[in-house]
Amino acid sequence: MATKFLKTECSKCKVAINCKRFGSSPLVISGKITEYCRIVGGYGRSPVESSKLSPESKADRDNYGPCLTIVYIPTIEEGTGEVIMEITKIFSQPVLHGRESVSWSIGNMYPRTHETK
């Protein structure tokens, strides 16, 4: 199964406010190539179990939120000048799609026919 990535830049990322590497994307290389952050498997939507976290990660979870987003952030390696993708963990509140956060329920809708006025 192939991993799906969501490419984004910091100004459009929904969890950027909690990212320790904010401002790293887009990374423009020699004026021609642009590298973006890659969010692995989408934004965090459900809480992570405490037993699976290190003490450092637990502190981040307590500060920022219970959901985890894994991001590959482009970085230029100082010695060689090559672009490498660093893995970063970002904790946040659940990131829901716009359609999931509507205030009304579909159960409150009633069908209407041409005879209904």
Q: What confidence tens digit (pLDDT) does each residue in 51-79 have?
A: 989 999 999 999 999 999 999 999 988 88
Q: Residue 101: inside a domain, yes or no?
A: no
Give residue 36's domain range.
5-95
State both tokens at 15.
């969890």
Whole-model pTM: value is 0.74
Cα(20)–Cα(22) distance, integer angstroms? 6
CA distance 89 to 81: 24
| Average pLDDT of the residues of the chain | 84
* Reported confidence tier of residue 23, pLDDT bands at 50, 70, 90: confident
Helix H, strand E, coil C: the string for 52-102 is HCCHHHHHHHHHHCCEEEEEEEEEECCCCCCEEEEEEEEEECCCCCHHHHC
Q: What is the Cα Rg of the chain in Å? A: 20
111/96 Cα distance (integer angstroms): 27
**Residue 113: inside a domain, yes or no?**
no
pLDDT tens string 34-56: 889 999 988 898 899 989 899 99
Structural domain total, the chain = 1
Q: Is residue 115 part of a domain?
A: no
